[in-house]
Structure 1
C-alpha cells in the first residue's frame, strides 16, 4: 500500500536530498516530495528536518530508514533469486576494508570475470566495518581478527606478524629489530581505538608487563605514516601493510608473537545474493 512512498523516503534518506533522490528514481522532484509528504501526513509524523536545501532525518526517520534498508535489501535478494540462472551482467557491490592492500586484488580478479558489476570501496577499522555490514550499508567486508559470530560468513585470507616502523632519520634507523621493552621506551603513533593493530600491540605489551608510550592518536593508516615520517614517533602495522616508503624504515618486533588475521566477510543472509556469492567464488584461492 505504501511501497512507492517508502521507496521515495528511502531514496531521499540514502541520497541526502530530494533532487538527488528524484534523479536516482527517474522522477521529478515534486513527485518525490509529494510521496514523502503523503507518508508523513498519513501517519501524522515528521521524517525529515527541512531547512532551505538541507535535508536531515529526524530520529523517527532514522529508525524508519533502518527498516527500509532491510526492506529493499530483501527485495534485491528476491530479484537475485529469480535471476539465478542469468549471467551477472549488471549490478553493484558495496565493499569495505580495513586496508586497500588485501581487498584491491580481490576486486580486480572479480571485475575481470564480471566487468558489468560496479564496486564502491570504503575504508574503516574492523569494528566500523562489522557495524556497517550489520546495518546493511556494506555487502562485503575485509576485516582483521574476525570473531566467531553466527550472523556472519567468513573465510581467512592471510595471517601476518606486526612490525614497527620509524623515520629514516630516526636514531635507530640502522637497526633491524626491536624488543617490546625497547619499544615501550619510545613514543608511539597509534590508530584510533577499534583498530585491531592497536589492540594487538596493547595486548602484547600488557602481557609483557609493559606500558604503551602513546605520543599521538590518529585516524587511519595514512595519517600514522605521515606522523611517523614527520618524526613524531614509532608506528605499528602488519608486515605486508608496510609496503615501500622511502621516508620510513621497518623494524622487526623480535619478541612479539602477535599477528593479524585478515578475513573476507559478509552477513550469512547476504550470501545467497548472486553478486556476493560470485565475489567469494572468484577469490576462492585467496579465501
Structure 2
C-alpha cells in the first residue's frame, strides 16, 4: 500500500491503533511508515497530544492531496474498465425529432449518463418521417419521436402521452379569466410552431375542426425562442405539457391554462429500435431507463 494511503487511513481513524487494525499491520510498523513519509516530505504531519494525533497544517495539505489521488485513481479505473474486459467503451446514437430533442431528450440523457458515465451518447435531429428510416437503416441506434409509429422491422415503445396547453404571459388579459374555451383563441395573437412540424399539424387540424383561426404573429421551430418571445410580444402560444417545467414558467413569467379541446390533442412520445439494436447492452439499458423514468413521471390514467 502507498504511504499516502496509509497516512490517509491514520487521519480518518484518528488513531494509530485503530488504523493498524484496519490495515492489518503492527502499530510499530505503521509508526515507521508515517515517519518515513515525514522524512521523505521533510515536514511533520502530526502533532502528538498525549494519545491523540492532531494534523499539522502540512498534514492537512497532504491529506487533501491523498484524497485527490484516490479520486483520480478511481476515475482512471472507471476509464480503463471497458478495455480490461476487451471491449471498447459503449456508445449510443439517438435520432430525435426536433420537439423531443428540445423537451424530452435532455432529461433522459442526463438520467442515463449519471448512471452510465462511460457511455458516449450522440444525437442527430430530424423530422419524425426522417428519423424512422435512420433507425431502420441502422444509422442511429434508437429513435425518439413525438408520435406512435407502426413500421415493419421496428419496435415502438410508448413512453408517455402528452397534450397541448395554452401558455400566456402572467399579465395577459386572459391570465385571470375564470374559464376559457377554444373559441377564445379565435383571432388571438399567437406565436406557434413552424408549419410542417408534428405539433403544428396537430394545431391546424384542431383549429380547422373547431373553426378557430388565431392571429399568428410568428412561426418558430424552437421551444426556447417561443417561450422568450411570448412575453416580449404579449402573445399566447400552445406548448406540450411535458415541456412546461416549473422553472421554465417562472423564469419567463408565464402561466398555463387548460382547455378541454386542447386536452384532446394527445401525442404519444415513443422509442423506436430494431431487434438487433435491443441486444446491445447499452441500448437495452437506455430503453429500460427511459421507460422507468417516464412511466414514473407520467403514470397511465
TM bucket, shorter chain: 0.5 to 0.7
Q: Structure 2 CA distance, aligned partners of 1:259 and 1:137?
A: 29
- TM-score, scaled relative to structure 2: 0.58
Q: Structure 2 CA distance, aligned partners of 1:129 and 1:274?
A: 22
Residue matched to 2:242: 240
| SS of the residue 1:149 aligns to | coil
Residue matched to 1:277: 284
CA change 1:163–1:92 in 2 (3 A) is same
CA change 1:104–1:147 in 2 (3 A) is same
- The structure 1 residue matched to 2:203, chosen from 201, 204, 211, is 201
Residue matched to 1:224: 226
Show structure 1 runs of 4+ deviating over 4 A. 86-89, 122-125, 134-137
CA change 1:109–1:248 in 2 (3 A) is closer
Structure exhibiting the larger radius of gyration computed from Cα positions = 2
Residue matched to 1:265: 272
Q: Give how far 1:95 is off.
A: 2.0
Between 1:269-278 and 1:184-193, the stretch displaced more is: 269-278
Q: Give how far 1:134 is off.
A: 5.0
Q: Structure 1 CA distance, aligned partners of 2:105 and 2:171?
A: 32
Q: Does 1:114 align with 2:120?
A: no
Between 1:200-209 and 1:109-118, the stretch displaced more is: 109-118
Q: Structure 1 CA distance, aligned partners of 2:132 and 2:163?
A: 23
- The structure 2 residue matched to 1:103, chosen from 79, 102, 105, is 105
Q: How many residues align?
A: 203
Q: Structure 2 CA distance, aligned partners of 1:283 and 1:109?
A: 9
CA change 1:89–1:136 in 2 (3 A) is closer
Q: Give how far 1:210 is off.
A: 2.7
Q: Which protein is richer in helix relative to its size?
A: 2
| SS of the residue 2:160 aligns to | strand
CA change 1:144–1:266 in 2 (3 A) is same
Q: Give how far 1:282 is off.
A: 3.5
Q: Give how far 1:113 is off.
A: 4.1
Q: Structure 2 CA distance, aligned partners of 1:206 and 1:185?
A: 13
CA change 1:134–1:194 in 2 (3 A) is farther
Q: Structure 1 CA distance, aligned partners of 2:168 and 2:215?
A: 15
Deviations 1:78-123 (A, max 9, x none): xxxxx9xx79771211224424443334334433443321112455
Residue matched to 1:126: 128
1:178, 1:254 within 8 Å by CA — same for their partners in 2? no
- TM-score, scaled relative to structure 1: 0.60
1:88, 1:114 within 8 Å by CA — same for their partners in 2? no
- Give the aligned CA root-mean-square deviation in angstroms: 2.9
